[in-house]
């Protein structure tokens, strides 16, 4: 790469925060909605509609015009939606949910990325919220974080869950443990997607989740097929299961913690028992074109969510399973062409069998 | 543009803050310096050198590996500089100065961009520093802002000032007014670059700058050729000058303020008098490839520096001069191929003559 090309790449990185927030602000201000309703408004009229000076509206619209999202007519000074007019509303909604997540859980917190990496905790949460712990604890206490986070997670799992159940095999009548299954939604979904005679799904999580999980089972009419066990995955995983599912969880931890979890899962299973993990993956060669997760997840997990963790390469996840006494039996990775172009993680289902 | 292409563009915007801070953090942690000194270190060794967990180092290095800045050898697990090894140190220093400016003066503050636009003030400075006013006032009170800002400004003017003086004509023996000339550095540079028999340069700024300006003139041995007048450019511009220079200033203001300034300049000059402004410009068609300023400056001026202002198209600057009784006589714009690939603003010198 020539020094010029390297410098141009630096420039692309340098303008990242400004570009992000400029674009989002056009939506937050209501400029895009105003143009959808009344194409052709000029900066003065837009300023009146959204409650901002025309000068500022004009400044903020340069970027979407440059990107082809919005069209500008120099003859009239009027703006109208360009590419944004052709974008299905559901796609736009998904994008805006994710952009809000970036703004609320990342933008400020990333200022302390280096400190977070050194401390192994999310320093940004402490600095901006006085909260000591990870994002998942902080969302319980802070409404702004919770609303942004919960909405994004719902949208994310709505896409990933059906794909997961399409690509994981669960033997008929199996006794399934949904590890770190929170308040039971994973167990309910597992039962629904994989129903078979005798199938029973148990949520395993911290004891304080039990009450809400049991209520969820009842409310969803699966109380007969789902149950709850309280405990701590870092201490011991309950025995008596054929299949352990670990979804949206391993990626929160560094290697040593992942190995502890997988080791405890291994101990809990009989030889031949199955573990299936749902994890986001980096391409084994991150220089490949579709390594889109690399742009986002290291900074997110280290600086905003956990102070540790992150996706791994498929070879790493497989290697860790093998290190803990499993033989990998099946790997399915999302096809980049099957997920929306704005989506970041490539998910994988890695299934393995206990060999020793 | 297809919806897929639009969504992919959104993705590029969404990952902007994460990419920016991930890359900068590799430098802040000392990972890049460590690899420059000892190529081939693996994540464990790097973690030891920089005081971070190897897991985190590995996560953060995915992005620079993907971008080709750093090379990764899967056989040894070792990292070494790739494109970064070929980048002259002066270029890298300039880039890092700018990235620090983005981090310190923008990253957090941009969270309040929408609020800043609505209020017409930099809400982020109030939220994070308790400061009511603009960035130039805030740097006087806050060391972290000042250090980041001053370093970046020095680097910026070191590039732009020589180009400005190469491209502005100042008649021999002229009486020059350096408008909003701060503590006299612009006047000193003007005298040095444009020396001619009888040339005299006067700094015009708020009265409280006088003392320091006069000291600067003495220290630089130009006290005979430079002087200071205190006043407020929004009220009245002193008379008796042949040329008024306005550099790094008009871009801070919205249209109505710029017109006030130019109107007062016009009033102060005799017919035939010259004004030369140094301003950053957007391409007249911002969809052109080299509209790089558009990625950065709207968000910077609105959300981080002033709550107003920003570069304008050349046609806008010229139109405003004409609106205030000037005829544009010469326009020189920086050639994008002559400025470093990482540099954002394209500067222009617009000279005009008072016609009425």
CA gap B262, B327 in Å, rounded: 12
Interface check for A143 against chain B (CB to CB < 8 A): the answer is: no
Q: Answer yes or no: do A8 and B63 touch at CB < 8 A.
A: no
Going by DSSP bridges, is the β-strand pair B274-282/B312-313 parallel, antiparallel, or unpaired? parallel
Burial class (CB in 10 A: 0-12, 13-18, 19+), A221: exposed
Interface check for B66 against chain A (CB to CB < 8 A): the answer is: yes
CA gap B27, B50 in Å, rounded: 10
Going by DSSP bridges, is the β-strand pair B243-247/B274-282 parallel, antiparallel, or unpaired? parallel
Interface check for B193 against chain A (CB to CB < 8 A): the answer is: no
Q: Contacts of residue B340 in chain A, CB cutoff 8 Å? A: 7
**Chain B: nearest CA to A121, how far in angstroms?**
11
**Chain B: nearest CA to A15, how far in angstroms?**
6
Nearest in space to A195 (alpha carbons), one of A213, A176, A173: A173
Element housing A230 (H / E): strand A226-230
Interface check for A48 against chain B (CB to CB < 8 A): the answer is: no
To test the contact with chain B by mutation, choose from A4, A17, A47 the residue with the greatest count of B C-beta atoms within 10 A, namely A17
Residue B68 has its nearest CB partner, among A1, A53, A59, at A1
Q: Contacts of residue B15 in chain A, CB cutoff 8 Å? A: 16, 292, 295-296, 344
To test the contact with chain B by mutation, choose from A61, A104, A117, A280 the residue with the greatest count of B C-beta atoms within 10 A, namely A117
Residue A287 has its nearest CB partner, among B1, B15, B65, at B65
Residue A117 has its nearest CB partner, among B9, B18, B52, at B52
Interface check for B136 against chain A (CB to CB < 8 A): the answer is: no
Report the number of secondary-structure helices (H) and strands (E) in chain B.
15, 10
Residues of chain B with pLDDT under 50: none
Q: Answer yes or no: do A294 and B62 touch at CB < 8 A.
A: yes
CA gap B134, B221 in Å, rounded: 33
Q: Contacts of residue A60 in chain B, CB cutoff 8 Å? A: 117, 298-299, 302
Residues of chain A with pLDDT under 70: 289
Segment 247-266 of chain B within 8 Å of chain A by CB:
254-255
Residue A301 and residue A335 in contact, taking contact as beta carbons nearer than 8 Å? no
Residue A113 has its nearest CB partner, among B10, B15, B21, at B21
Q: Answer yes or no: do A3 and B292 touch at CB < 8 A.
A: no
Residue A20 has its nearest CB partner, among B16, B24, B66, at B16
Secondary structure (DSSP) of A272-334: T-EEEEEEEEE-SSTTSTT-GGGGTHHHHIIIII-SS---EEHHHHHHHHHHTTEEEEEEEE-
Q: Answer yes or no: do A17 and B22 touch at CB < 8 A.
A: no
Q: What is the pLDDT of residue A194?
A: 96
To test the contact with chain B by mutation, choose from A64, A93, A114 the residue with the greatest count of B C-beta atoms within 10 A, namely A114
Residue A65 has its nearest CB partner, among B287, B301, B340, at B287
Q: What is the pLDDT of residue A289?
A: 66
Interface check for B131 against chain A (CB to CB < 8 A): the answer is: no
Whose tokens are 């704005």? That residue is A342
Q: Answer yes or no: do B299 and A117 touch at CB < 8 A.
A: no
Half-sphere exposure of A294 (CA within 13 A, CB side): 21
Q: Please report the number of interchain residue pairs, chain A to chain B, with beta-carbon separation below 8 angstroms.
A: 297
Q: Answer yes or no: do A18 and B106 touch at CB < 8 A.
A: yes
Q: Contacts of residue A280 in chain B, CB cutoff 8 Å? A: none
A244 CB-near residues (< 8 Å, 6+ apart): A176, A177, A179, A237, A265, A268, A269, A273, A274, A275, A276
Q: Answer yes or no: do A63 and B295 touch at CB < 8 A.
A: yes
Q: Contacts of residue A20 in chain B, CB cutoff 8 Å? A: 13-14, 16-17, 110
Which pLDDT tens digit goes with each residue over A320-352?
Answer: 999 999 999 999 998 888 889 998 888 999 999
Q: Answer yes or no: do A18 and B296 touch at CB < 8 A.
A: yes
Element housing B179 (H / E): strand B175-179
Q: DSSP letter for B304, please.
A: I
Neighbours of A77 (CB within 10 A): 15
Return the HEC string of B240-281: CCCEEEEECCHHHCCHHHHHHHHHHHHHHCCCCCEEEEEEEE
Q: Which ipTM did the prediction report? A: 0.95
Residue B243 and residue B174 in contact, taking contact as beta carbons nearer than 8 Å? yes
Which pLDDT tens digit goes with each residue over A139-169?
Answer: 999 999 999 999 998 888 888 989 999 999 9
Q: Answer yes or no: do B296 and A340 touch at CB < 8 A.
A: no
Interface check for B346 against chain A (CB to CB < 8 A): the answer is: no
Q: DSSP letter for B103, please.
A: I
Half-sphere exposure of A57 (CA within 13 A, CB side): 25
């Amino acid at each position: 790469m020539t020094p010029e090309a390297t410098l141009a790449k630096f420039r692309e990185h340098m303008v990242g925060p400004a570009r992000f927030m400029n674009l989002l602000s056009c939506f937050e201000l209501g400029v895009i909605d105003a143009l959808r309703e009344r194409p052709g408004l000029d900066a003065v009229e837009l300023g009146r509609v959204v409650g901002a000076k025309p000068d500022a509206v004009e400044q903020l619209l340069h970027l979407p015009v440059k990107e082809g999202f919005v069209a500008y007519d120099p003859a009239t000074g009027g703006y109208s939606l360009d590419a944004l007019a052709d974008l299905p509303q559901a796609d736009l909604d998904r994008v805006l949910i994710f952009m809000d997540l970036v703004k609320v859980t990342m933008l400020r917190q990333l200022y302390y990325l280096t400190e977070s990496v050194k401390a192994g905790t999310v320093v940004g949460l402490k600095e901006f919220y006085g909260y000591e712990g990870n994002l998942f604890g902080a969302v319980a206490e802070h409404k702004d974080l919770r609303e942004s986070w919960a909405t994004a997670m719902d949208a994310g799992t709505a896409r990933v869950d059906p794909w997961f159940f399409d690509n994981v095999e669960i033997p008929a009548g199996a006794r399934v443990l949904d590890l770190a299954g929170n308040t039971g939604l994973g167990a309910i979904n597992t039962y629904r997607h994989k129903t078979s005679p005798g199938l029973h799904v148990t949520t395993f999580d911290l004891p304080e989740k039990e009450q809400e999980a049991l209520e969820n089972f009842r409310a969803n009419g699966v109380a007969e097929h789902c149950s709850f066990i309280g405990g701590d995955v870092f201490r011991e995983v309950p025995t008596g299961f054929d299949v352990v599912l670990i979804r949206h969880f391993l990626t929160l931890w560094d290697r040593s913690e992942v190995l502890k979890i997988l080791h405890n899962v291994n101990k809990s299973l009989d030889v031949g028992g199955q573990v299936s993990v749902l994890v986001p993956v980096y391409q084994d060669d991150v220089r490949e074109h579709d390594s889109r997760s690399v742009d986002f997840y290291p900074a997110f997990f280290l600086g905003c969510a956990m102070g540790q963790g992150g996706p791994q390469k498929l070879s790493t996840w497989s290697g860790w399973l093998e290190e803990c006494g499993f033989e990998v039996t099946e790997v399915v990775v999302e096809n980049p062409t099957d997920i929306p172009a704005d989506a970041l993680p490539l998910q994988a289902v890695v299934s393995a069998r206990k060999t020793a």
